[in-house]
Amino acid sequence: MKLSAAIAFAASMVVAAPAVAQATQTDFGIHFPLEISGLTAPGPGPFLDVYTFSVVDGTLASAITASGTVIAGAYGLWSNPDTVVGTADDSLLAAWAMNTGVHVMPVTEGYYFYAVGGLDPVGGTDFEYALASAFQQTPAIPEPGSGTLMLAGLGAAALVARRRFRT
Ligand SMILES: [Ca+2]
């Protein structure tokens, strides 16, 4: 299946979440520097696994490593302002097929989820996947003028030190 079709499939599955027999939801909470789903073996049949989390401004780097047979295996990163999965504010930011390396996305402070979907035709442990997501916070930009303030502070400290030296 083409990647675009796989993406459409994964996206449609999120919309149809209640209709998917095997749908799970995991809450990562506040995204740690590294979140890993653990080895997951859904199936047989269509599955949809959702992983919710929140972040501050930063960058997400994610990957899915999968083995075995899966049809239209893909995952997407969704923004989720109201924290509830499946509501109208959910917005697909990007979607990728499994085993396609690391995908980097800048994010702003808020709530998000990964939706992992596909069809496992065999079941058991024939198909397994693991989702890994790394988050790096955007370094705080110093306030304009704080450098000047710091220099002024250093200057004052130097003055005090000089006066102490003289007395
Ligand atoms: Ca929502």
- Antiparallel, parallel or unpaired: β 34-36 and 103-107: unpaired
Range of the domain at 13: 3-142
Tens of pLDDT, residue by residue over 95-120, are 999 999 999 999 999 999 999 999 99
The alpha carbon of 68 and the centre of ligand 1 are apart by a number of angstroms equal to: 32
Direct distance between the N- and C-terminal alpha carbons of the chain, in angstroms, rounded to an integer: 83
- Residue 89 and residue 82: Cα distance in Å, rounded? 7
Structural domain includes residue 151: no
The alpha carbon of 110 and the centre of ligand 1 are apart by a number of angstroms equal to: 11
The alpha carbon of 56 and the centre of ligand 1 are apart by a number of angstroms equal to: 17
Structural domain includes residue 115: yes
Q: Where are the alpha helices (DSSP H) in the chain?
A: 3-15, 146-166
Structural domain includes residue 61: yes
3-state secondary structure of 64: strand
Judge contact between 118 and 41, C-beta under 8 A: no
The alpha carbon of 134 and the centre of ligand 1 are apart by a number of angstroms equal to: 22
CATH code of the domain in which 43 resides? 2.60.120.380
Structural domain includes residue 159: no
The alpha carbon of 145 and the centre of ligand 1 are apart by a number of angstroms equal to: 40
Q: Burial-class residue 158 by CB neighbours within 10 Å (0-12, 13-18, 19+).
A: exposed
Structural domain includes residue 148: no
- DSSP label of 140: P
- Antiparallel, parallel or unpaired: β 58-67 and 45-55: unpaired
The alpha carbon of 157 and the centre of ligand 1 are apart by a number of angstroms equal to: 53
Structural domain includes residue 154: no
Closest C-alpha among 87, 88, 91 to residue 79? 91
Tens of pLDDT, residue by residue over 35-85, are 999 999 998 999 999 999 999 999 999 999 999 999 999 999 999 999 999
Per the model's pLDDT, the better-predicted residue between 98 and 146 turns out to be 98
What pLDDT score does 43 carry? Answer: 80
Q: How many domains does the chain have?
A: 1
The alpha carbon of 164 and the centre of ligand 1 are apart by a number of angstroms equal to: 62
Structural domain includes residue 100: yes
Token reading at 125: 């442990």
Tens of pLDDT, residue by residue over 116-128, are 999 999 988 999 9
Structural domain includes residue 109: yes
The alpha carbon of 90 and the centre of ligand 1 are apart by a number of angstroms equal to: 4
Q: Burial-class residue 48 by CB neighbours within 10 Å (0-12, 13-18, 19+).
A: buried
